[in-house]
Structure 1
Amino acid sequence: MYIKINQNADKILDNEIEEVDLKEVEDGLYEGEYYSEGIGLIVHVEVKNHEIISIEYENHQYGQGYKAEAIKESIIHSQSVLVDDVSGATISSRCIKLAIIDALKEA
């Protein structure tokens, strides 16, 4: 089981975190998701005037990474998913970023 958990963590960490050009995102509410072997979530990202104004979580399965939920403040403040992961919650932080990227790429 330990090996399976580590393989899943490696899979999540291998995903590239790419910046989304907010200048290309129209006003609206966007939904994205990222799940990998029992870890993940759905996000609702609201964009207004090409800025992220809110991020809400749904069905967040975070294991021990509950602290990662605070990352949304950093993302909103910096207007970027290229922020530091929350210490002690790296995997959950990455899942949140990947779900946000999924949402905004749909824009």
Structure 2
Amino acid sequence: MKEKWKKAVPYLATIAAAFCASFVFTAFLLRPEPLQVGSAELGAIADGTYIGVCQNKILFAVVQVEIQNHEIVNIEVIEHKTAYMEQAKQIAEAVCDEQSLKVDAISGATLTSDTVLKAIENALRKTESFE
């Protein structure tokens, strides 16, 4: 019986190592990346409600941005990962308060902050005319 286990141990160790390596590789591939968030010229944006979307690997954000008189009056986070929804709402609120996409990321939720900011930028970019 001990002889069988001695022969099986290397195989089991190889299987365990392969499983761990595949897990680490998959986690690395799915990890969200830092995003470059630009700016938007509010003076060029007409009144209305605009939808913005950003997918950053496993993070996905959908926002609704309301513009009145060339100002952001409301940003609603329609969809985001539940565990980070509070941080996503904080970023949206900061953008409304500052009237700018240049706001500080939420500590401990930098990738969430980037994803929401990029979704807001995408909503505002849809509205600009490129003449």
| TM-score of the superposed pair, with normalisation by structure 1 | 0.85
Deviation, 1:40, is 1.4
Cα pair 2:54 2:119 within 8 Å, conserved = yes
Cα distance 1:50–1:36, how it changes in 2: closer, same or farther (>3 A)?
same
Extract unaligned runs of 5+ from structure 2: 1-22
CA distance in 2, matches of 1:21, 1:5: 37
Q: Which residue of 2 aligns with 1:68?
A: 87
The structure with the largest helix share of the pair is 2
Decide whether the 8 Å contact of 2:48 with 2:67 is kept in 1: yes
Distance 2:50 2:44 in 1: 13
Q: For 1:11-62, what per-residue CA distance to the aligned partner results, in whole angstroms no more than 9, with x for missing partners? A: xx0x311011101111000001011232111100000011000001122125
8 Å Cα contact 1:46-1:52 kept in structure 2: yes
- The one-letter code matched in structure 1 to 2:32 is A
Q: What fraction of aligned residue pairs are identical, expressed as a percent?
A: 29
Q: Give distance in 1, aligned partners of 2:99 and 2:27.
A: 31
- How far residue 4 of structure 1 moved from its aligned partner, in angstroms, is 4.3
Matched residue pairs, number?
Answer: 103
Runs of 4+ aligned residues of structure 1 deviating over 2 Å after TM superposition are 1-10, 64-67
- What TM-score comes out, normalization by structure 2 length? 0.71
Q: How much does 1:67 deviate?
A: 3.9
Alignment-mate amino acid for residue 87 of structure 2: A
Unaligned runs of 5+ in 1: none
Residue in structure 2 matching 1:51, options 63, 66, 71: 71
Larger Rg: 2
